[in-house]
Structure 1
Amino acid sequence: MEWRMLHRLTDYRRQLNGLGFVVCALMIAFAYYLQYFQHMEPCPLCIFQRLVFFAIGVVFLLATIFHPAGIGGRVFSGLTAMVSGIGIAIAGRHVWLQSRPADQIVSCSADFGYLSEFHTRLELMVMMLGGTGECGKIDRFLGVSLPTWALFLFIVLGAFGVLVNWRSVR
């Protein structure tokens, strides 16, 4: 392969990883906009989803900076798949909780800050993943619930990260 073509291909990969980072940053910014300007308080599962968007963004940023080839690209593919898989599990759980009948929706009595004062981290994680907080409250954007949007974006970002980084460039 000619050097110029190789250089263009690696620059293209770098730009796509940068795009993935920007999308994650915009998702986090949008979540904070909804929280502070639209007064939609996040539940613990929403907070975990934000953390996963942050983690995927870090993976994309590192891939942008280092633009690895060969096995390095596959490592970043695997990291993206793993982190987005965690996001898919959390958002999927949230969508499932919201799809339950109104009389079976999980309700919680305290927010994350209050609970963290009285429980260990492990207990807190188990409680949050179990649906504590206002996880049953359905906030919508363009007619679709926010956890459903997050689930969709975790799938898209995971597939995008794998496709962009998997291909070997030498």
Structure 2
Amino acid sequence: MSLTPRWIYAFIVACCCGLLGYALYTQYFEGLHPCPLCITQRAFFVLTALTALIALIVNPQQTGRYIASGLMLVSTIAGGSVAYRQVWLQGLPPDQVPACGPSLEYMFSNLPFGEAFSTLMLGDGNCAEIVWTLFGLSMPNWSMFAFIGLALAAIASALPMIKR
């Protein structure tokens, strides 16, 4: 069995589904409510998974592999940037943490889209709270590492040495 782009796409889809499944588990069974930055990271995992799923189904030639890889790379870099922002917020001294903002539902129903989107991307005091750790790292830390791994897999899927 050789490594092909389709195996890499399947791996990316499986990883994203596993990460999203665990996020939903912690939300609905462990009671951890996601902050705006967590929801944004989930959206980028979904976008990465959908791109990989389409590539898995289509099985593109070399140019299509570059396009799929580029799209996955953009979504993983964006998601990793959001995760990094949350890690940065969590590392701030308590007196420098921004105030907690309104709920996501309130923002999108009462604020103009641009302002709600900006608030969502910047995060608030809720995003600085650490409520879950594994080996001393918070969920945004693990999310950031996952985005890095997915970005490397996306790059590998476009390498010419990977057999079709």
TM (normalized to structure 1)? 0.88
Task: From 19, 34, 37, give the equivalent of 2:26.
Answer: 34
User: 1:96-111 to 2 correspondence within 5 Å?
Assistant: 96-111=88-103
User: In structure 1, which of residues 72, 75, 87 is the aligned counterpart of residue 79 of structure 2?
Assistant: 87
Unaligned runs of 5+ in 2: none
Letter in 1 for 2:94: A
Give the C-alpha shift of residue 89 in structure 1: 1.2
The runs of at least 4 consecutive aligned structure 1 residues that moved more than 6 Å come to none
Q: CA deviation at 1:128?
A: 1.6
Mean alpha-carbon deviation: is it higher for 142-151 or for 100-109?
100-109
Contact 1:110–1:133 under 8 Å retained in 2: no
Cα distance in 1 for partners of 2:114, 2:125 equals 16
Q: 2:106 aligns with which of 96, 103, 114?
A: 114
| Greater displacement, 126-135 / 57-66 | 126-135
Q: Identity, % of aligned pairs?
A: 31
Alignment of 1:66-85 (within 5 A): 66-85=58-77
Q: What amino acid is the match of 2:127?
A: C
Question: What are the residue-to-residue correspondences of 1:1-170 with 2, within 5 Å?
Answer: 12-132=4-124, 134-142=126-134, 143-167=136-160
Number of residue pairs matched? 162
Please provide the CA RMSD for this pair.
1.7
Flag the structure with larger Rg: 1
